[in-house]
Structure 1
C-alpha cells in the first residue's frame, strides 16, 4: 500500500481551500468583521413572503403547507417549506465550512469548480485560478447582490456534478457514482429548475461527444456500463427532490407558467400595475419568454466589461469629472433645474438594447486561456465546450436572434417554460476556465514548437489583438440608444463621449491583462519562470482581474448593519390595521410587493409564478374595481358595494401609502364565508370569469358546471356561517341554515384541500373563478378544511429516505475509492 505523500497529495488542496476562504472573507468582509448583512431586494421580499410560514414553524414545530398572507393564499412549498432533505443540507454545511448563507454559495462555487478541474486532470495550483474566476465572475456576484440565492447556489454545484460524471467516464466509476449523486442532490436542493435545465444541455452535449467517441473506438459496452452507473446516481439524487419536484410539476399546470384556460386574453390593466398576464404579454408568448434577451454584441462583456457602458443602474453624472456631469452642471448654472432633472434620467452609462442589465464579465485572462484551450486541448473537449459556449451565447440572444430561438421556443421540450434567457450565459462562464486550463496543461506538456508558437500567437491575437483594435477604433460605435436621438445634441455628445471613454479604458485594460498572461504563459512553457512563481502570478492576476470589476457593482454599500435594516419597521398604517383582530385581507395598491405580507393577509405579494386563475381574476376584475375606486375617491363618492371583486376577496383595508390617513376601510367586504341566494351556471372558464366580474358576489355564485356539479340554481342565503379557527393548513367554520345552502369561502381554490362537514368528506367546488365553495345541508354544522397535498404527505417520505441514502453513497464511494487507489499505488 502506497503511503499518502502530504506535500504532493494533501498540501495543494489545503492551500486551495485556504485561498478560497481568504478570498471569500476578504470579498465579503463587512459580513464577517463589521456585523453587517447583505441587503438583497429579492431576499427582503422573500422575508416578507415567508414570515408567517417561519412563525408557524417556530410556534408549532410543523410546516405551513399553505400561506394565507400572499395573493390571498397559495401553496407554501412555492415559498419556504422545509422538506425532509436535511441530510443534504448537512452536506452543504460541511462543504461550505459553516460559512453563512448566502455568501457560502460563492465559496462553494470555488470548491466545486476546483474539484471539477482536478477531475479533468488540471494541476491543483492551476485549478485555483480557474475556480476563482468562475466564482467571482460578475454574473455570480451581481446575482448574489440581487438576492438570487437559489440560482447562484444551483450554479455553484454544477461543476461538482460534472466532476462526478467525468470521473465515471474516466474509469473511476464508484467515485464518479458517489460524487454525481451528492452533487446532483445538492444542486437540486437549491430548487432552480431553469438552471438545471441549462445544465442538462451541457451534460447532453458531453454525453453525445462521449457516445461518438465510444462508437469510433468500438467501446460501446463501457459507455453503457458508465451510463448504468450514472442512472442510479441520478435516481437517488432526484429522490431527494421528489417531493418538491412533484409539487412543482403539479403547480406548473395551475400557475402563470401554464397554459391559459381562457379563450381570449384579458384586457391590459391600466391601473399602473404591471401584469404577468396582460393581453399583450401572456406568459406563454414569445414576448414574455424573451423579454430579457441579450443584444448580438452583448456577450463581448465577457471580455470587455464596459463594452456597452456597464450597468444600467448607475449614472454617468455620478462622476463629477465626466462630460455628462459638466453638461448638466452648465445647464443648472443657467437656472434650468427642471430640464436637468429630466435629462438625468438618461445618464446611465449602458447604451445596449436591454432595459435593465449588467455585464457578464468572465475575466480577460480566462477568455484568452479559453482561446488557448480551443487551440491546444483535446479535440473532444474542444468540441464539447466550444459547442456549449456557442449555444449559450446564441440562446442568450433570445429575440435578437429569432430564427433559432423562436424555433427552440416552439419545438424544444419545456424550453418555453422559462424566461430571462440571458441566464444561458452561465454555460459560457462554465466552459471558459475548464477548456482554457485544459489547453494550458496540454501546452505545458508538449512544449512550444513552431506550430505551438503559431497557435499561441493566434490565441493572443484573437483576444488581446481584438481588444487593442477596439481600443484604437472605438469611434466605429455610436454609443447612443435609439431613444436618445430626440435629446439635445450637446447632451447626447456628452453621453457618447463618456461611454466611449469607458469603452476604450476597459478595452485597453483587457488587452493589458491578456498581454501579461501571454507573457507569463510563454515564460512558463519555456521554463523561464518557476512553476510556483507562475501559479502565484496567475492566481493573483486572475483574482484581481475579476474582483476589481466586481467591485464596480458590489461593494460595502451592498451591506447594511443588521440593526439598521428598517424595511419591515412597522408604520402607522400597520399599527392601525393590526388593531382589528378579525379575519380580513389587505390590498396594498403596489400589489407586487411582499412587505404587506410581513404583517397582514395580503391580496398581493412577490413571486414569479402566481396561480394562473388568480392572475386572470386580478387582470379582469380587481383592476376594474381599482379604477372605479380611484375615480370615486377623486369625486369623494365612495360606494364600497360597487367593488364586488374587492369584496369577494374579503378586502377590508386598502392601502396607498405609509403614513396614517393613506388607507381606506371597506365596510362592504363579504367576510371570510357567506351563503348565496343564486347559483349562476356557466360552461366555460371565459364565461365564468366574465360573469364573476359583473355580478354581486355577495348574493350570487358563478360555477362552471362543465367541471363541477351543483344540485340547483337556488339556495338558502338566510343562514349564518362564521370562521372559528384559521391556521395555514386548517380552517374551521360553524354554519346554521334552515335549508340547503351553497357556502362560498373567501379562500383560493387549489387541489389538496379536503373538506368535511361534521367529519364526513364533502366535495370542494370552485366558485367565482378562484374561490372554494361547498353545498351545505340544512341545520347546524361544523365545516373543516385541511390542506393535505400528496406531494408533501407522500413525496416528503421519499425525499427524506433518499437524502440519507445520498450521505451513505458519498461516504461509501469515497472510502472505497480511497482504499482501492492507495492499494493500487495511485494518486489520491
Structure 2
C-alpha cells in the first residue's frame, strides 16, 4: 500500500477501532454469548415460530401464518423472498452480535455523513458516538424494536447521499443515496422510513430554493434526476416488502374501518387510517421534549420508582405513618411524571449535541442548517401528538399516509438527527476557526436557554396525570384526603428535585465542554487535545445515562433465555398431546390480544401484532372485550381455553367440546346489508346451522337441503394450501374456520377455480355441488409473485449503480488531482 494512502486511511481505521472498543465495553455481555431479553423480540419469536418450523421441514417460509389471530399473512413476520443482494446490514456491522451490531452500524453511517460534510475524523467520531448512543436508541433496543433501530442507524447514510448529490458530487451521491435508500427501506420499519421521507422533502426544498435563486437550472435537473433514480431503484429493490405491505395494510387496522363499535352500538362508518385516539395514544408531553437535554427531569421511565428516603416518605412520616410503612408505600410509586401511558426511558441526546446543535441553528448558515432546524422543530411537534392538536390533527387529516402510523413519541428520532448534524456543522466550523464561539450572541443564547430552564424549574406546575388517581385511591371512606395530599406533595417535591438536579448536571457539563473549547480558542489546547477530551467526556456522559436503560440485568444466557420464554407449561404440554393439531387455543390467563407466546406452541385465537386484520379487530371489540360468546369461539374452532384463578393465579385448562371443527355445512344463509349488521347478527344466531353474509357480495340460494349423510373434512393442512374432502347428495354451503383475506387466497373445486365468500364477518364460505369433491384453498398472492420479480431485477441494477457510481466518482476524483 502506498505510504500516502496508508496515512490517509490510518485515522479512519483508528476511528473504527474506537467504535468497536466503545460498543464492546457497552455491550460486554453480548461478547460473552449472552443475549438481550427483549419483549418485542420474544413476541416476534413466538409469532414466527410456526414459520421457522415450516421452513425447517419444507425449505422455505410459508406466506400464511395460522398461529395468531386465527391466521394472517406472514408478510411482516417471517416472509420468504431473499434478494440476490447479500445481507448488507450484517456486512457493514461486521457480523457483530446483537446489540453491538446496532450501535456500530449507527456509528459507522453517521461517521460517513460527517466525512461527507467535511469533518475531521475526531469530530466525526465524537458526533457519531453521540448519535449512536443517544438514549432513545438503547431504550428501543431494550424493548426489542430491532427494525426501528436499524432504520435509525441507516438514516445518516441516506442523508449523506442526498447532501453529496445536492453538493454536485453526482456519481458518489447517486451511489450512496441508492445504497442508503435501499437499506433504510429494507430495514422494514415503515414509520421511520416515512419520517425520513419528510426529512428528505424539507432538505430538498431548502436546497431547491437556493438553486432557483441562483438560477442553477442544470444542477436542479441533475439532482432531481439522480434522486429519482435512487428512489425508484430502492423501491424496486424492496418491491416485495412494499407491495405486500401496501396491499395488506388496506385490510388492517391501519387501513381504516367500516364498522364503528361502542359499548352500546355497532354502526357502519367509513374511515381511512387509524382512529385518532389510538394513533395519538403515545403522545409526549410538551415539556417532556426537554429530556433531549435533561434526561431525568421527568423521572426517566415507568420502571423507576422512588428511592429510599424520598420526600414522599418524609411527608408520610410527618403525617403519622410509621417509617417502615412510609418507605414501603413511597418506594412503590413511580418517578415518571410525564404524559406517556408508558415509557421505558427518555430520548436524551447528550449535552454536546443539544447545546451545540441549538447554537448551530442560530449560527450556522446554508441549506443544510436551515433544514436541520426545520426538521428538529417538526419532529418535536409530531412527538407531542394529541398535546399539540392544531398541528398534528391537521397532518393526520391532510398529510398522505400520516394517519397510518401511531406512537407520535417515535418522532423523537428526528430531532436526534437534526441536532447531531447541526452540532457537527458548528463544531467543525469552530475547530477550523471559521467562526468564534465565544461572542456576545452565543453567550446570550446559552444564557437565555439555561435562564429559561431555571425559571421553568422555579415556576412550573409539578402535577402529573397520576396525581388524580392517587387522590382517589388514598382518600378514606370518611372523605379525608390528608394521606393522599401528603403523597402528592411529596411527589411534587421529588419532581422538582429531579428537574433541578438534571438542570444542574446540564449546566456543569456545558461549562466543562465550553471550557475545553475556550482553551482551544486561546491555543492552550491543540486541536487533537481539545477534541480528544471532548470525545472522552461527551461519550462517557451519554454512555453513563444510556447504560441505565440497557444494563447487564437485561441479558440472559442462551439457556436462561429459552427457559424463561419458550419452555412449555404443563398446560401447553397437555394441549400438545392432541394428535390433531388443527384446532385453536384461547389463552385468557394472559393479555389475550397482546400475547404471542401462546402462538409459539399453538394456533392461537389471540396474538400480538401491530397490524392485525381489521375484521378480526371488529370481532375482538364486539365479542371479546366485554365477555365471551360461545358461538364465536365455536366457529373459530376453539378447542382449548386456558384460564387462571383471579386470586391464586393458578392456571387451568378447559376443553370446548362444542367447537365446530375445521369446516361444517349450513342449511341457511342470512343476508345483511353491510358489515356492521353481519357483525351484530353472528352474535344472535346458531352458527353451526346458519351463516351470515353481506347481501351485496352474494347472489346464490339462501336455503340448502339438509343432508344427514353429507360429510366434509380437512384432509391436509399446509399453511398456504388447505385441502378438504366433501361428499353430499345435494348442493351444500360450507363454512371454513379460516380467516377470510381476499388478496391471495383462491378456492378450487376439483382443481378448478371457484369463487369463495366472506361469511360470519371473518370466515370463508363456499357453494358446493352434489357429489364427491376435493376443495382446496391456496394462498398465492400476485403481490408476492410480481414483487419478487421486480425485487430481483432491481437488485441487479442497484449493484450496478452502487459499484458503478463509486467507480465513476473515484475516476472523476483522480482526474481532478491529475490536472
For Structure 1 versus Structure 2, the TM-score category normalised by the shorter chain is: over 0.9
- Note if contact 1:625-1:646 (Cα within 8 Å) is conserved in structure 2: no
Partners in 2 of 1:361 and 1:509 — Cα distance? 13
Within the candidate set 376, 379, 383, 2:370 is matched to 383
* 2:319 corresponds to 1:351: no
2:127 maps to 1:160: no
Q: Which residue of 1 aligns with 2:131?
A: 134
1:552: which partner in 2? 548
Which residue matches 1:456? 442
Partners of 2:354 and 2:323 lie apart in 1 by: 49
Q: Counterpart in 2 of 1:417?
A: 404
Query: What's 2:494 paired with?
Result: 498
Displacement after TM superposition at 1:482 (Å): 4.8
Alpha carbons 2:50, 2:65 under 8 Å: kept: yes
Work out whether residues 312 and 330 of structure 2, in 8 Å CA contact, stay in contact via their aligned partners in 1.
no
Please tell me whether the aligned partners of residues 177 and 230 of structure 1 are also in contact (alpha carbons under 8 angstroms): yes
Find the counterpart in structure 2 of residue 632 from structure 1: none
Shift in Å at residue 374 of structure 1?
2.2
Partner residue, 1:662? 652
Note the C-alpha offset of 1:125. Answer: 1.2
Specify whether residues 98 and 762 from structure 1 end up closer, same or farther in structure 2 by C-alpha distance, changes over 3 A only. Answer: same
The aligned residue for residue 143 of structure 1 is: 140
- Hey, what does 1:530 align to over in structure 2? 526
Once residues 572 and 668 of structure 2 are traced to their aligned partners in structure 1, the CA distance between those partners, rounded to angstroms, is 37
1:434-485 CA distance string (max 9 Å, x none): 1112112223444566x96223323432445555x36xx7342343325425
Instruction: Work out whether 1:792 is the aligned partner of 2:781.
Output: no
CA distance 1:306–1:720, change in 2 (3 Å): same
- In the alignment, the residues of structure 1 paired with residue 795 and residue 131 of structure 2 have an alpha-carbon distance, to the nearest angstrom, of 28
Offset at residue 730 of structure 1 (A): 0.9
Query: Judging changes above 3 Å, is the alpha-carbon distance between structure 1 residues 404 and 780 closer, same or farther for their aligned structure 2 residues?
Result: same
Q: 1:548 to 1:222 in 2, by over 3 A?
A: same
1:679 paired residue among 643, 651, 669: 669
**Structure 1 residues 257, 482: CA separation in 2 closer, same or farther (over 3 Å shift)?**
closer
Q: How does 1:274-313 map to 2 (within 5 A)?
A: 284-313=274-303
**What's the Cα RMSD here?**
2.7
Aligned counterpart, 1:637: none
Instruction: Confirm or deny that 1:64 pairs with 2:47.
Output: no
Q: Deviations over 1:369-393 (max 9, x none)?
A: 1133123322323321111111111
CA contact (8 A) 1:138 1:549 kept: yes
- How far residue 624 of structure 1 moved from its aligned partner, in angstroms, is 5.6
User: Under a length normalisation based on structure 2, what TM-score does the superposition of the two structures give?
Assistant: 0.92
**1:707 Cα offset (Å):** 1.8
Task: Kindly indicate whether residue 819 of structure 2 is the aligned counterpart of residue 821 of structure 1.
Answer: no
- The answer on whether the counterparts of 2:255 and 2:272 sit within 8 Å (CA) in structure 1 is no
Query: Contact 2:308/2:331 (CA < 8 Å) preserved in 1?
Result: no
Hey, what does 2:478 align to over in structure 1?
A: none
SS at match of 2:254: coil
Q: Deviations over 1:732-752 (max 9, x none)?
A: 111111100011100001121
Q: Show CA shifts across 1:486-526 (max 9, x none).
A: 25233223323333222222211111111111111222233
**Unaligned regions of 5+ residues in structure 2, if any?**
475-482
Q: Cα deviations across residues 758-798 of structure 1 (Å, max 9, x unaligned)?
A: 11111111111111111111111111111101121221122
Relative distance call for 1:3 and 1:452 in structure 2 (3 A) is: farther
| 2:39 corresponds to 1:52 | no
The C-alpha deviation readout for 1:286-327, integer Å capped at 9, x for no partner, is: 2222111111111111111122122122101xx324334566
C-alpha spacing 1:692/1:578, structure 2 compared with 1 (3 Å): same
Matched, 1:399 2:400: no
Q: Mean alpha-carbon deviation: is it higher for 481-490 or for 519-528?
A: 481-490
Shift in CA distance, 422/720, structure 1 to aligned 2, threshold 3 Å = same
Report the TM-score, using the length of structure 1 for normalisation.
0.91
What is the SS of the residue equivalent to 1:87? coil
Distance 2:396 2:253 in 1: 17
**Distance in 2 between residues matched to 1:653 and 1:204, nearest whole Å:** 52
Task: Structure 1: state its 5+ residue gaps.
Answer: 270-274, 629-642
| Segment of structure 1 superposing worse, 201-210 or 284-293 | 284-293
| Cα displacement (A) at 1:88 | 4.9
CA contact (8 A) 2:130 2:350 kept: yes
Q: CA 1:717/1:458 → structure 2, altered by over 3 Å: closer, same or farther?
A: farther
How far apart are the structure 2 equivalents of 1:125 and 1:10? 13
Alignment partners' CA distance in 1, 2:163 and 2:17: 26
Residues 315 and 487 of structure 2 are in contact (CA less than 8 Å); yes or no, is this contact kept in structure 1?
yes
Shift of 1:336: 8.9
